[in-house]
């Protein structure tokens, strides 16, 4: 079935998730949608699956206008979605999971034999190997995914949406999945494949649409595109560049990380032997495709992630064994990569939000451990003024602000705390050009006044424009260090994807 997404827009309080998105998907093809986190691909898929209603825009299947009020409507039109996190009942069998919710509840006995033979037929047709009588908790991840796919095919899906399907799979399972997908395609199923792993997209998809900042940047055939070109589209080139400014980098050390090694929760390597130092008055940019250890590394610096070995120094202090609060008190500031989840209490007003992260410092906590709201009122007002936060007042709840203004507030709060070291993670993600420009300038101002900054960003132009020095992380290791003057987005992209080691 052919899909036409026409001029879809959708916004949430504080976030513009989709802006005028139009994508055509050819029948019986594999169409990938790529973009960084927050680029709007999930929202688009939720609209396609009837979980969200668009503010404006339409959907057409085979030239026929469709409107969904719930996933049930979408399923009836032949759409099936395989979520990143499996929606299976672990203690039921495969066939029970597949037929779950098919019939209206009644008191008739289940036609177990009929169901099983139907499922076996379907599995044979699409070459999806499963054993219908096993329970889900006996299955491996790859098999669970096949059950999910069968589940939607059993409901008559002609269009399959796969949300980050390879995120949970090991390489061998990935190639198995890809074989299955090619098979499905040859049998006429249209597949939408959401991912941010560019290798896989190029391998499996016929066409790829790139999303950035809620907008559709373009759609191209994968045979005509290279990984670095795709990366460039994803990260953006036509954006304004941060202002180049020279700076005085001091000789004094701001943050020093020695031989840091950590494992992921699953016991795999998160990062290994990370060794670097940031001087006062220096911005060090950390480039890397998401999921290469940046998250674990930044949480280790914040004291939220337990590393196995190594040391972290802030100025002269060894902070390796300090908890987050002591690190905050010593002067580590953090611009959260996800402002709404990590950086703000969106149901609280700006006065309370300005305290967050400094609630135990003498600025906001009196001798008798009372919150000093007086200072919070003054400081929140000062952040609002200095960082052009558009808000009716500091009494307004954070959720009422637009995304760009929320981000300006978070950045302002962290910079005005006068930290010794700033960890800036995706400081301009999902904000408009004006807010981006202001944030860039403020970061440079802070750098010029002697602040050391570790900048983690998916935006290569931001990295190149702001950093005094660039480090590339790939699979948990620092693979390259270079000066921004000798780097281009293409070159960075090749290091980031491990092509050029």
Partner 1 sequence: MKIYLKIIGYLTPIIALAISFFITGLILVAIDRNPIDTFALMIEYGTTPKSIISILNRSIPVYISAIAVAVGFKMGMFNIGVEGQYLFGTLIGAYVGSLLSVSRPLHILIIFISSFAVSSLWAGIAGYLKVKKGVHEVISTIMLNYIASGLVAYLLGSVFFERKDDGIIRVPQTNNLPETGQLPPLNNLLGLEDLPNLNGFLIGAVILGIVYYWLVWKSSLGFELRATGMNPTAAKFSGANPNKLIIVAMLISGAFAGFVGMSNLVGYFHKFTIDFPTGLGFAGITVALLGRNHPIGMALGAFLISFLERSAQILDLNDVPKEIERIMAGIVILVVVISYEVVRRYVLTQQVKLASKLVQNVE
One of 402, 426, 436, 497 touching partner 1 (CB under 8 A): 402
Indicate whether 345 belongs to the interface with partner 1 (CB under 8 A): yes
Write down the least CB distance from residue 438 to partner 1, Å.
13
Indicate whether 336 belongs to the interface with partner 1 (CB under 8 A): yes
Write down the least CB distance from residue 328 to partner 1, Å.
4
Indicate whether 328 belongs to the interface with partner 1 (CB under 8 A): yes
CA distance 331 to 255: 11
Indicate whether 401 belongs to the interface with partner 1 (CB under 8 A): yes
Q: Sign of dihedral through CA atoms 40, 238, 167, 146?
A: positive
One of 202, 220, 356, 377 touching partner 1 (CB under 8 A): 356
**Residue closer to partner 1 (CB basis): 140 or 393:** 393
**Residue closer to partner 1 (CB basis): 263 or 363:** 363
Indicate whether 377 belongs to the interface with partner 1 (CB under 8 A): no
**Residue closer to partner 1 (CB basis): 251 or 347:** 347
Indicate whether 381 belongs to the interface with partner 1 (CB under 8 A): no
One of 329, 437, 450, 469 touching partner 1 (CB under 8 A): 329
What is the residue-wise DSSP string for 244-259? P------SSEEEEEEE
Segment interacting with partner 1, rule: CB under 8 A, options 43-51, 191-199, 263-271, 348-356: 348-356
Q: How many residues bind partner 1 (CB under 8 A)?
A: 42
Other beta carbons within 10 angstroms of residue 70's beta carbon come to 11
Strand partners for 194: 33, 163
Indicate whether 348 belongs to the interface with partner 1 (CB under 8 A): yes
One of 114, 137, 323, 481 touching partner 1 (CB under 8 A): 323
Exposure letters 174-186 (e unless 16+ CB within 10 A, then b): bebbbebbeebbe
Exposure letters 235-249 (e unless 16+ CB within 10 A, then b): bbeebeebeeeeeeb
Contact 476, 500 (CB under 8 A): no
Indicate whether 342 belongs to the interface with partner 1 (CB under 8 A): yes
**Residue closer to partner 1 (CB basis): 247 or 342:** 342
**Residue closer to partner 1 (CB basis): 344 or 456:** 344
Nearest alpha carbon to residue 452 among 319, 293, 256, 242 = 256
Assign 206 to helix, strand or coil.
coil
Segment interacting with partner 1, rule: CB under 8 A, options 126-134, 305-313, 321-329, 468-476: 321-329
CA distance 279 to 253: 4
Indicate whether 122 belongs to the interface with partner 1 (CB under 8 A): no
CA distance 152 to 159: 9
> Binding pattern to partner 1, positions 283-312, x when CB under 8 A?
-------------------x-x--------
Contact 18, 162 (CB under 8 A): no
Indicate whether 364 belongs to the interface with partner 1 (CB under 8 A): yes
Nearest alpha carbon to residue 178 among 153, 195, 155, 203 = 203
Indicate whether 362 belongs to the interface with partner 1 (CB under 8 A): no
Indicate whether 421 belongs to the interface with partner 1 (CB under 8 A): no
Segment interacting with partner 1, rule: CB under 8 A, options 146-154, 236-244, 265-273, 342-350: 342-350
Indicate whether 352 belongs to the interface with partner 1 (CB under 8 A): yes
Contact 174, 186 (CB under 8 A): no
Segment interacting with partner 1, rule: CB under 8 A, options 94-102, 248-256, 344-352, 459-467: 344-352
Q: 449: burial class by Cβ within 10 Å (0-12, 13-18, 19+)?
A: exposed
CA distance 301 to 304: 8
Q: Where are the beta strands (DSSP E) in 144-263?
A: 159-163, 190-195, 207-212, 215-221, 253-263
Instruction: Give the length of the chain.
Output: 501
Instruction: Restricting to residues 9-28, name those near partner 1 by CB under 8 A.
Output: 13
- Return residues touching partner 1 (CB under 8 A): 13, 302, 304, 323-325, 327-329, 334, 336, 341-348, 352, 355-360, 364-365, 369-371, 390-392, 395-397, 399-402, 405
């Amino acid at each position: 079935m052919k899909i036409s997404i026409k001029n879809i827009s959708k916004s949430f309080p504080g976030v513009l998730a989709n802006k005028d998105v139009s994508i055509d998907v050819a029948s019986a093809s594999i169409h990938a949608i790529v973009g960084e986190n927050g680029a709007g691909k999930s929202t688009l898929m939720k609209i396609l699956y009837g979980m969200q209603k668009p503010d404006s825009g339409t959907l057409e299947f085979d030239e026929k206008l469709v409107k969904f009020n719930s996933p049930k409507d979408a399923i009836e039109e032949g759409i099936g979605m395989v979520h990143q996190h499996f929606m299976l009942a672990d203690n039921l069998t495969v066939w029970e999971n597949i037929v779950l919710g098919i019939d209206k509840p009644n008191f008739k006995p289940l036609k177990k034999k009929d169901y099983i033979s139907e499922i076996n037929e379907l599995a044979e047709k699409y070459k999806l190997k499963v054993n219908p009588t096993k329970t889900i908790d006996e299955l491996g991840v790859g098999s669970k995914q096949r059950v999910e796919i069968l589940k939607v095919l059993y409901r008559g899906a002609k269009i399959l949406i796969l949300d980050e399907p390879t995120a949970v799979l090991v390489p061998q399972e990935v190639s198995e999945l890809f074989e299955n997908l090619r098979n499905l395609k040859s049998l006429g199923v249209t597949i939408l494949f959401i991912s941010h792993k560019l290798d896989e997209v190029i391998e499996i998809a016929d066409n790829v649409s790139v999303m950035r900042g809620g907008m559709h940047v373009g759609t191209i055939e994968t045979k005509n595109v290279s990984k670095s070109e795709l990366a460039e589209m994803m990260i953006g080139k036509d954006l304004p560049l941060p202002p180049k400014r020279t700076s005085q980098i001091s000789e004094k050390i701001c943050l020093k990380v020695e031989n840091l090694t950590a494992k992921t929760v699953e016991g795999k390597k998160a990062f290994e032997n990370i060794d670097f130092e940031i001087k006062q008055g220096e911005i060090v940019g950390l480039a890397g495709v998401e999921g290469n250890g940046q998250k674990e590394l930044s949480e280790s610096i914040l004291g939220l992630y337990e590393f196995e070995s190594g040391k972290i120094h802030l100025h002269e202090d060894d902070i390796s064994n300090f908890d987050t609060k002591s690190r905050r008190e010593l002067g580590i500031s953090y611009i959260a990569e996800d402002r709404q989840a990590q950086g703000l209490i969106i149901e609280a007003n700006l006065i309370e939000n300005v305290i967050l992260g400094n609630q135990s410092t003498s600025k906001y906590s009196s001798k008798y451990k009372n919150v000093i709201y007086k200072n919070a009122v003054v400081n929140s007002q000062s952040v609002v003024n200095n960082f052009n936060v558009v808000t009716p007042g500091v009494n307004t709840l954070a959720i009422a602000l637009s995304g760009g203004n929320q981000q300006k507030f978070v950045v302002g709060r962290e910079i005005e705390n006068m930290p010794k070291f700033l960890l800036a993670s995706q400081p301009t993600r999902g904000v408009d050009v004006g807010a981006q420009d202001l944030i860039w300038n403020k970061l440079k101002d802070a750098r010029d006044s002697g602040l050391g900054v570790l900048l983690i960003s998916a935006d290569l132009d931001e990295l190149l424009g702001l950093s005094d020095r660039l480090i590339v992380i790939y699979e948990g290791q620092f693979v390259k260090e270079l000066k921004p003057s000798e780097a281009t987005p293409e070159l960075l992209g090749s290091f980031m994807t491990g092509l050029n080691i």
